[in-house]
Structure 1
Amino acid sequence: MGDPYILMLVALAVLAIVDLVVGVSNDAVNFLNSAIGSKAISVRNIMIIASLGVFFGAITSSGMMEVARKGIFNPNMFMFQDIMFIFMAVMITDILLLDIFNSLGMPTSTTVSIVFELLGAAVCISLIKIYGPDGTKSFVDLWTYINHETATKIIFGILLSVVVAFSVGAIVQFASRLIYSFNFEKRASYINALFGGFAITAITYFIIIKGLKGTPFYKDVKFLIEGNTFTIIAGSFVVWSLISQLLIQFFKVNVLKLIIGVGTFSLAMAFSGNDLVNFVGVPIAAWNSYQAWELSGIGADAFSMGVLAKKVPSNIWLLLFSGGIMVVTLWTSSKAQNVIKTGIDLSRQGEGHEKFQPNPLSRVVVRAAMTINKGISYVIPQKTLAFVDAKFQKPVIALPKDKTYELPAFDLVRAAVNLIVAGILISIATSMKLPLSTTYVTFMVAMGTSLADRAWGRESAVYRVAGVINVIGGWFLTAITAFLAAALVAYLISWDMVMIPILLAFVALLIGRNTLIHRKKSKEVKKQEYIERADLITINGVIEESSDHISEVAARVNKLYTNVVDDLASHDLNKLRKTDKHVGKLNDEIDGLKDGVFYFIKSLDETSVPASRFYIMVLGYLQDIAQSISYISRASYKHVNNNHKNLKKPQLKDLKEIDNELTSLLNKVSEVFHNRTFDHLDAVLVEKQALFNDVSKSIEKQVERIRTDETSPKNTSLYFSILLETKDLISALMSLLQTYEEFHLSTKEVK
């Protein structure tokens, strides 16, 4: 009788380990963004500090384990079998959901996902019990199964934490910038000391409230803390201010770096202490349930799980083992780095490649903000505006061009404010026993501070707002998806337990597939040559850069053109759709290169500036080539998608001959630029005229067919479109080669 449940426990243990990995990959953004983005401390030291915080948080997380047992549903209303179905559904859904968000590089809340999964699975099993063969109750009785007050609090906490964190972050950052400006190194030492006293007091109080509560040691110091909040805070402020002044005065310590280090530790601890329950709370609750049921001797479908309502002490070694897995993941997960990059990109002070595209809502929000800003400028006196504006003027940092990569995404003041505000808000919510998500708080604080710090300028605001909207939309989607998916999985498991191995196999398959796709994308990103480069670009660098682009584009256009001709011949709509997606990707990459021209020119050394005109022309020709293949692909896809007649054999034969000649030409172009054998360009240019003539002959042949036996206007339109765009493609390619040959000869003469 117990065998299937033993297997379920083993499966839950394995799922818990996998969930720890995918969960940490997403939640690392919470406590690493500020330190990594500001480059206040070396990455190695940041990781060491965060690892210690995670371990300490794992020990203090025992008090949070009750959420999985009785926080969402009333355990006495469920039998052991029901509870196991709920827990299996929750873990399967959680892993799938978090892995999808990690692969997309989007931060989400592990707290919200686990809560709504528990809610969805519990509601599903409750409804099965209510409306099942033995059910005699109505829908109203659902509330006796579900702890709906907790669910309502959590939903309210989501909405409130998003608004409050963003607003408080913006206000505190604005005030901090007025005090510090961007020249914080020149502030008087007592200002730094007071700021350090305030910040470290907030963070240490946060560690006490968030860390000690719920641990076995809290009862020993409870009498010292409770009822003495004001005294502790005031005393800490005085002590830490004096310590900060001593460190500045005698040891020349940068207090802001100290704040960032302590703040990173505290948020890492909070994450581990708060969110460890999201990963291992369910399997531990399942193990406790199994132990109670096994001793009872009652059937799995008859043993009530009221035992879960009792407080059960957690195993400290199990918590430390879980903390160890989290630390290892922190150091090794590439998906974690992907999620961290999203948060830093949306809050960085400077310009750069934008991950998100504008949408109608982001445009409306930016326009509304500009209108409000204009209105405020009429109300506030000009002297006040000038004073404020002076505080937000960024200093010009005289770094050599080959050292620009050393610039942080934002400065130490903003990083410190991010950590202080997030720590204070989480401690207040914890002391008031309000449920919230550490992800929501830390992310929205970072967005609020970046807005107040004028990081979202006219050049980037519409992209950054779109990114924030996408992330917030993803959060609400998390809740809805978690609820529905967990309910569905719970239903499938309760229908037949054979669904468990099938669902586990599906989880393994999907995670494996997502991992392979992520690795492939990571390799593509490494191969892509975005021009936001750190190294100084010389004339040879321009040649290398442009040669790589031309070789790559020629090879890809060659493959895409052949695919279109072959897929058109077979009238294969699915293959044409895939080809069109690849064509769109090529266009996007070339657009990205053109968007990066600014950074390319900024990176040129003085002797290579004239080469910028050549590089711009090369990108222009590449864009013309990509647009031609894009038009050919889209027209072919549209023709087949509209179910028009296939091209006739003579037309397809002519197209295949042109494709063969174009393949030969593009292969030679790709080879010349890949091997840097530019002296062979002349021979390639000679070959161009023969291909050009063949395309013209094909056009003349089609004119003759129309005069004699052609009966399909749609075929004629498509055929002419392909031939004319092919001519444009060849013309752009030849113009590119002529430009390159002239540039190559001119550089040889200079040498």
Structure 2
Amino acid sequence: MDNIYLILVFILFMLAISDLVVGVANDAVNFLNSAVGSKAASYRTILFIASIGIFLGATFSTGMMEVARNGIFNPQYFYFKEIMIIFIAVMITDVILLDAFNSLGLPTSTTVSLVSELMGAAVAVSIYKIATSNPHIIDNGIERLATIGDYINTAKSLGIITGILSSVVIAFTTGVIIQFIIRTIFTFNYEPKLKYMGSLLGGVAITTITYFLLIKGAKDAVFMSPEAKAWIKENSGLIIAYSIIAWTILLQILTWLFRINILKMVVLTGTFALAMAFAGNDLVNFIGVPIAGFSSYEIFSATPNADATTLLMTGMAADKSVTVPSYMLFIAGAVMVLTLWFSKKAKNVTKTELSLSRQNEGEERFGSSFLARNLVRSVLRLTNTAERVLPKRVYAFLASRFDGTEAEAKRKAQGHEAPHFDMLRATVNLVTSSMLIALATSHKLPLSTTYVTFMVAMGSSLADRSWGRESAVYRITGVLSVIGGWFFTAFSAFTGAFVFAMLINWLGWSAVIGLLALAIYFVYHTHVLNKRKQAREATVDSFEIEEVNGEILPEKIFDRCKVNVIDVLKGVSDLYHRSLTSFEDEDRRALKQITKEVAELNANTKQMRHNIYPTVRKLQEGSIDSGLFYVQVIDYLRESAHCLTYISTPCFEHLDNNHKVFMPEQFEDLNELKANISDFFEQTMAMIGQNNFKELDNLQHLQGQLMEHMRLLRKKQLKRIKKEKAGTRMSLLYLNILHETQNMLLHVGNLLKAQRDFVKFQS
């Protein structure tokens, strides 16, 4: 029987590896986004620097986490079997939960999820324990009836959760204030001011990061002796003062001699520091529970004739320091580094924060919400009031400090690609996050690294006026969605661990097998969904126009537009043919799949339409006519694809409701029309592909013949209705197909003429 617990410990460590993978995918956003968003270096260089920080942080960390052992529950009141149930339920829940959030691209807190899971599982085991055995607890020689309060460390749990949630408001507010001050001083055109103020800014920034690294990143490192830790704590003021002076002088000398980019150095240093601190401290969120489970098993194995159902885990409460074997830390560090390089879900989470904080406009990842709309209206009223109250000179001065037009023009002239935000804001993000985390850590206040870094980034983007009237409502909706997801994390983590622990209590260890199978299925399923999502995004990305030195060349527009048009027309022709064929075969499943493909095609054309504005805006002055034709082509293409929705969806709903399909003579007419439509599309695509529109008049004549043919088919159907040979639903669907087919042909015909003019202009 003892072997089963050894197997459970092994399962805990296997789950820990999976948890490391999904955890790093979630938390990579904390230390990557500032460098990636500001394009301080190439993506591979940023990953390399972060990898060094992660590996050092993981290797030098003690890997201990008392919250997993006795921070949430009192282990001395639980038996060994009950402790193992708690740990298994926690790890299975954590893997499922973090993987789900990663697939959705939403950053969440691994600390909050772990605390909530430990709480949920411990409460479930406590309730089951009280309900089944009604135990009494010996406390100072007095026997009393046990309650949940005896098992759960409620004070510490609530303190952790309260501290984490309060850090959200503090981080956002601090990010707004500091970014506003820094931007007011340096403006968007900050390069000239860096020549005489950059070394001081860099000195303060790197000092903050250094202090953060010492306080947060190295406080639990195995190479730090107790004397060194005490000296750092006692001499914090001197470290800060001397560090500012030393870094300021050093940076100024390096600037004079080598003309280094101070902000780039700060951003990359901050990336390293945050990565090291993440691995050194947040690593315990992933391996803390397995280590605690392993410690429990060691206590159980070392007790002669121990019974798992009667051995109380008093040793878990008494043992306050456990050293994790170095090989475990090495393996954990290696897993984290590999995940950072190869996890596509990490990039998915990173995209969410970058899309919400980017300076430039573009497609928004989130929609609009009632609360966001009202918040934007309130801020607009407040801004209008400030404009009336403040002296005009003061208001004009502040407005000029946040005007990025000159910096944007300079960037274009130099041929640089636009980053999501500049390195000045990236510096503020890293320094402010480091400062808040170090400050809280030095005062032993719990907080979430994810929450702090995300909210600082959102605060700085708000202060930088990234949330203009064109994007504010969508950005605020995104932030509210992420924050709502954080609360949902706590609730889901608590509920999931509670349910899983109860199931294991009721059904025994066989439930563990079922839950593990559920976790494997869930992770696999989200992996498949994520691959499909990436495939769709890759398809969408293929519709974007390539930039050359920050500009979109007219010939690039022409080449890409031609490819895009042909690809979409192929999809329209194919899906139209398959829709009518599947309807005739009464293949409901195939038609359902076709409706999904039609929706994806429409999403692609919608993305192409979203790219119209930035494309036309970046065209050279002499290419205005080219931009006009480009807009016309994309609009007609979008409408052509949109007609498919009103053909495939009604056909599917007709079959789904088990209505009668068309009569044989109706299908004969449609099949003839379908063949002619396919021929029309083939000639259209050949004409566009060859850039030869000499036969356009003949193709327009064919279009006219098809229109006349559809008019006759409608007339034929009306005669059937009059003779009561066709039902109402059947007739409405038949006429709808003819109507939408006619609209589709009209849009394709107009697209062809716009493409002809586009080609004529290019030549």
TM-score over 0.5 (shorter chain): yes
**For structure 2, which runs of at least 5 residues remain unmatched after alignment?**
138-143
Name the counterpart of 2:484: 473
Q: CA deviation at 1:23?
A: 1.0
AA of the residue aligned to 1:17? I
State which drifts further: 97-106 or 664-673: 664-673
Q: 334, 343, 367: which is aligned to 1:333?
A: 343
C-alpha separation between the residues in 2 aligned to 1:181 and 1:538? 31
Name the counterpart of 1:413: 424
Task: Say whether the 8 Å CA contact 2:9–2:294 is kept in structure 1.
Answer: yes
Q: CA deviation at 1:420?
A: 0.8
Name the counterpart of 1:704: 719
Distance 1:518 1:680, change over 3 A: farther
State which drifts further: 517-526 or 147-156: 517-526
Q: CA deviation at 1:165?
A: 0.4
Q: 511, 534, 549: which is aligned to 2:547?
A: 534
Name the counterpart of 1:229: 236
C-alpha separation between the residues in 2 aligned to 1:593 and 1:603? 15
Task: Say whether the 8 Å CA contact 1:403–1:534 is kept in structure 2.
Answer: no
Q: CA deviation at 1:290?
A: 1.2
Name the counterpart of 1:14: 14
Q: CA deviation at 1:439?
A: 0.5
Name the counterpart of 2:141: none
Matched, 1:291 2:298: yes
State which drifts further: 59-68 or 264-273: 59-68
AA of the residue aligned to 1:75? P
| TM-score, length of structure 1 as denominator length | 0.92
C-alpha separation between the residues in 2 aligned to 1:329 and 1:9? 23
What secondary structure, in the 3-state scheme, does the structure 2 residue paired with 1:406 have? coil
Q: 250, 261, 269: which is aligned to 1:254?
A: 261
Superposition pairs for residues 198-597 of structure 1, below 5 Å?
A: 198-216=204-222, 217-296=224-303, 297-309=305-317, 310-311=319-320, 312-394=322-404, 395-398=406-409, 406-494=417-505, 495-528=507-540, 529-531=542-544, 533-535=546-548, 536-566=551-581, 568-569=583-584, 578-597=593-612
Task: Say whether the 8 Å CA contact 2:411–2:418 is kept in structure 1.
Answer: no
Task: Say whether the 8 Å CA contact 2:545–2:552 is kept in structure 1.
Answer: no
C-alpha separation between the residues in 1 aligned to 2:415 and 2:132? 67
Post-superposition Cα deviations, 1:69-127, rounded to whole Å, max 9, x if no partner, equal 11111111221112222212222221122122222222111111122112222222222
Q: CA deviation at 1:638?
A: 5.2
Matched, 1:39 2:47: no
C-alpha separation between the residues in 2 aligned to 1:144 and 1:573? 58
What secondary structure, in the 3-state scheme, does the structure 2 residue paired with 1:408 have? coil
Distance 1:700 1:28, change over 3 A: same
Post-superposition Cα deviations, 1:649-676, rounded to whole Å, max 9, x if no partner, equal 5444544443344344435545665676
Task: Say whether the 8 Å CA contact 1:548–1:673 is kept in structure 2.
Answer: no
Matched, 1:731 2:754: no
Distance 1:742 1:491, change over 3 A: same
AA of the residue aligned to 2:518? F
C-alpha separation between the residues in 1 aligned to 2:567 and 2:174? 48
Task: Say whether the 8 Å CA contact 1:554–1:667 is kept in structure 2.
Answer: no
| Fraction of identical pairs, as percent | 41
C-alpha separation between the residues in 2 aligned to 1:671 and 1:128? 72
Superposition pairs for residues 80-159 of structure 1, below 5 Å?
A: 80-132=80-132, 141-159=147-165
Task: Say whether the 8 Å CA contact 2:207–2:240 is kept in structure 1.
Answer: yes
Task: Say whether the 8 Å CA contact 2:176–2:463 is kept in structure 1.
Answer: yes
Q: CA deviation at 1:414?
A: 0.8
C-alpha separation between the residues in 2 aligned to 1:616 and 1:599? 12
Q: CA deviation at 1:648?
A: 4.5
Q: CA deviation at 1:448?
A: 0.3
Post-superposition Cα deviations, 1:266-303, rounded to whole Å, max 9, x if no partner, equal 11122112210111111111111111112223122222
Count, aligned residues: 748
Task: Say whether the 8 Å CA contact 1:61–1:277 is kept in structure 2.
Answer: no
Superposition pairs for residues 594-673 of structure 1, below 5 Å?
A: 594-605=609-620, 608-637=623-652, 639=654, 646-670=661-685, 673=688
Post-superposition Cα deviations, 1:185-232, rounded to whole Å, max 9, x if no partner, equal 212655323322322222111111112323442412244233443333
C-alpha separation between the residues in 2 aligned to 1:402 and 1:584? 40
Task: Say whether the 8 Å CA contact 2:79–2:313 is kept in structure 1.
Answer: yes
What secondary structure, in the 3-state scheme, does the structure 2 residue paired with 1:232 have? helix
Q: CA deviation at 1:58?
A: 1.5
Name the counterpart of 2:736: 721
C-alpha separation between the residues in 2 aligned to 1:741 and 1:254? 49
AA of the residue aligned to 2:184? L
| TM-score, length of structure 2 as denominator length | 0.91
C-alpha separation between the residues in 1 aligned to 2:535 and 2:389? 53
Matched, 1:76 2:76: yes
Task: Say whether the 8 Å CA contact 1:533–1:603 is kept in structure 2.
Answer: no
Name the counterpart of 2:140: none
What secondary structure, in the 3-state scheme, does the structure 1 residue paired with 2:212 have? helix
State which drifts further: 570-579 or 519-528: 570-579
Task: Say whether the 8 Å CA contact 1:86–1:118 is kept in structure 2.
Answer: yes
Q: CA deviation at 1:578?
A: 4.7
Post-superposition Cα deviations, 1:523-542, rounded to whole Å, max 9, x if no partner, equal 33233234464235445433
AA of the residue aligned to 2:9? L
Task: Say whether the 8 Å CA contact 2:546–2:556 is kept in structure 1.
Answer: no
C-alpha separation between the residues in 1 aligned to 2:290 and 2:399? 55
Post-superposition Cα deviations, 1:2-37, rounded to whole Å, max 9, x if no partner, equal 222222222222221121111111111101111111
C-alpha separation between the residues in 1 aligned to 2:500 and 2:447? 26
Q: CA deviation at 1:702?
A: 1.2
AA of the residue aligned to 1:207? L
C-alpha separation between the residues in 2 aligned to 1:210 and 1:403? 40
C-alpha separation between the residues in 1 aligned to 2:216 and 2:79? 34
C-alpha separation between the residues in 2 aligned to 1:623 and 1:49? 44
Q: CA deviation at 1:608?
A: 4.5
Distance 1:639 1:369, change over 3 A: farther
Q: CA deviation at 1:641?
A: 6.2
Name the counterpart of 1:23: 23
State which drifts further: 727-736 or 534-543: 534-543
Task: Say whether the 8 Å CA contact 2:545–2:556 is kept in structure 1.
Answer: no
State which drifts further: 639-648 or 338-347: 639-648
Q: CA deviation at 1:566?
A: 4.7
Distance 1:105 1:682, change over 3 A: farther
Name the counterpart of 1:195: 201
